[in-house]
Amino acid sequence: MSMNLKKQIDRVFVLLPGMLLCFTIAAAAGFLSDHYGGPVMLFALLLGIAFHFLSQEGPCIQGIEFTARKLLRVGVAFLGARVTLQQIQSLGIGPVLLVISSVTATILFGWAIARLLGRSRDFGILTGGAVAICGASAALAISSALPQTKEAERDTLFTVIAVTTLSTVAMISYPLIFGLFGFSDAEIGILLGSTIHDVAQVVGAGYAVSDEAGDIATYVKLLRVAMLPVVVIILAFSYGYAARKNGTAQVTGKASFPWFAVAFAALLLVNSTGIIPPLVQEGLQVSSRWLLIAAISALGVKTSLRAMAALGPRHIGVIVAETLFLAGMALAITFFVLKV
């Protein structure tokens, strides 16, 4: 047996306990949903939170992290089997313009509100980008393009916790709030995809409303994800230029390439041709569903209510203000401009 194969086998055994935990929670959530009619994603989230202690120590930590990150992306990629170009064309150019304008405006608003509340410019850009694009993933990518200090490490950790928690709250509350405005499922999908921070919570909220809302929400969300490399490159060049101009060390940073968004788009294109056999298409859809429920379970396990309670009010105020700004902007544009 080669050393590389042995390492891979060892890796599987390290990940297995945490993955089994997440899929067990997912199965329990599926049972509750089937028998009591509630949203399976919400059940998975709440059951996961009850097992938060397993994400702090023990053999499950790496498997929980793997499920929440890697398997989530595979599940999102497989969602391309649910969507076709015909569905996207029916939405028009509106969602694209909504995403570009809301991402730009939210980052600028984050910079302004952070300064107003006595926080640093970098903190405003970091949180604004995380809220505007894709939550924790964006926070980690954007932080790599910002000056590397102890305060930056602290702010990044805070941002990851805060956007994950707020995204969870949004996943539960936004479908109810948007429903009160009388929006159609398609419009609710646009709103969920353009306002909720993390991919998993967008998927959970969308499919809790309907399949149509889930498909559209996923598409709009991935438009936001596609903005991440652009924003990080701009920030890296901007901070690098400032560092060179001031005679300090050059700031460097790179974004994790969103391959899952590319895979989603590729599968979507193939699915639009109708060449995927129905049995394979159904298998991809079922696999996607279970991977996403397991990922939501993992995110629930990782969520610390105590950690959120210990965060400073001004830091929290910045992210809450950015979240409300993004939601208000998306509501206004959808209500007055985008009528699906």
pLDDT digits (tens, 9 = 90+) for 220-244: 888 888 787 778 778 877 876 555 5
Each residue's pLDDT tens digit, 298-312 = 878 887 767 656 656
pLDDT at 23: 95
What pTM value is reported for the model?
Answer: 0.69
Residue 8 lies in a domain: no
Residue 66 lies in a domain: yes
**What pLDDT, on the 0 to 100 scale, is given for residue 249?**
47
* C-beta separation of 226 from 133 below 8 A: no
**Residue count (the chain):** 340
Number of structural domains (the chain) is: 1
CA separation for the pair 60, 65 (Å, rounded):
9
Q: How far apart are CA 192 and CA 206, in angstroms?
A: 7
Range of the domain at 85: 16-336
pLDDT in tens, 12-39: 888 999 999 999 999 999 999 888 876 6
In a domain, 4, yes or no: no
Could you give the CA distance from residue 255 to residue 283 in angstroms, rounded to a whole number?
32
* Cα 181 from Cα 99, distance rounded (Å): 21
Domain CATH number, residue 152: 1.20.1530
Residue 11 falls within a domain, yes or no? no
Per DSSP (E only), the strands in the chain are none
Residue at 9 is within a domain: no
Structure confidence by residue, pLDDT tens digits, 60-104: 999 998 988 788 888 878 877 876 777 666 667 878 888 889 999
The DSSP annotation for 184-217 comes to -HHHHHHHHHHH-SSHHHHHHHHHHH-HHHHHHH
Any domain includes 10: no
In a domain, 191, yes or no: yes
> Does residue 208 fall inside a structural domain?
yes
Q: How far is CA 130 from the centre of its chain?
A: 9
Spatial contact of 244 and 119, defined as CB atoms under 8 Å apart: no
